[in-house]
Chain A
Amino acid sequence: GENVEQHPSTLSVQEGDSAVIKCTYSDSASNYFPWYKQELGKRPQLIIDIRSNVGEKKDQRIAVTLNKTAKHFSLHITETQPEDSAVYFCAASKRGGDMRFGAGTRLTVKP
């Protein structure tokens, strides 16, 4: 089955700096890669996703890149703000399959 690895497990940045979180996946058939943000005690919220026919997608301060050949994808947050502090999860899935999550990255943005 699919195995998703995520790094780093914790990340601390100064407000205004950029943050990058990286994930790798094992199943070459995976074709959908979402990123979720989870605040303490709450449900994960989808923040951005990318499909395998696209190499990069951007939404304001958030971008995701995908390298299918290397089977890795990354989340980029620019101009970080304290409210970006949360746990971020990457995930991978394929049509007809379930979704597997990375272990999460705890991002802290220091004012």
Chain B
Amino acid sequence: DGGITQSPKYLFRKEGQNVTLSCEQNLNHDAMYWYRQDPGQGLRLIYYSQIVNDFQKGDIAEGYSVSREKKESFPLTVTSAQKNPTAFYLCASSITGGVGYTFGSGTRLTVV
């Protein structure tokens, strides 16, 4: 998947359950990002990280959490506080903040 791998491809969550989406890259990129895409809409930034052990909230961080313990990994947890989590989630990475993004293939999360 072009050096950045998201898993799983499809994920089903029950009401009140936390789930974690995986994002791993072997591109030696410093920066990593999580976006949410709703049907027919653009990409909205959830969280991003420019360096290990540091991350910042994006425009729609409420109900989500992240960690960046390793350069290669940037998992996203969708908590039970996120009331409308059904969406397509895209992870991306770049060599320096904001330039030369590479996207993962996405995770489609559905609440059942």
Give the bracket for the number of chain A residues in contact with chain B. Answer: 20 to 34
Give the Cβ gap from A44 to chain B, nearest Cβ, in Å.
5
Q: Are A93 and B43 in contact (CB under 8 A)?
A: no
Which chain B residue lies CB-closest to A97?
B98
Give the Cβ gap from B25 to chain A, nearest Cβ, in Å.
13
Which chain B residue lies CB-closest to A101?
B43
Given the known A-B contacts A102-B42, A103-B42, A104-B41, are A96 and B96 also in contact in the complex, defined by CB atoms under 8 Å? yes
Q: Are B42 and A99 in contact (CB under 8 A)?
A: no
Q: Interface size (B, Cβ < 8 Å)?
A: 28
B3 at the interface (CB under 8 A from A): no
Give the Cβ gap from A40 to chain B, nearest Cβ, in Å.
10
Given the known A-B contacts A89-B43, A96-B50, A99-B33, are A32 and B103 also in contact in the complex, defined by CB atoms under 8 Å? no
CB-based A-B contact count at 8 angstroms: 62
Q: Are B101 and A95 in contact (CB under 8 A)?
A: no
Q: Mark B81-109, 1 if CB is under 8 A from A, else 0.
A: 00000001010101011110101111010
Jot down 30 A-B pairs with beta carbons below 8 A, ordered by A. A1-B59, A32-B98, A32-B99, A34-B101, A41-B88, A41-B106, A42-B106, A43-B103, A43-B105, A43-B106, A44-B43, A44-B90, A46-B101, A93-B99, A95-B97, A95-B98, A96-B98, A98-B31, A98-B45, A98-B56, A98-B98, A99-B33, A99-B98, A99-B101, A101-B42, A103-B42, A104-B40, A104-B41, A104-B42, A106-B40
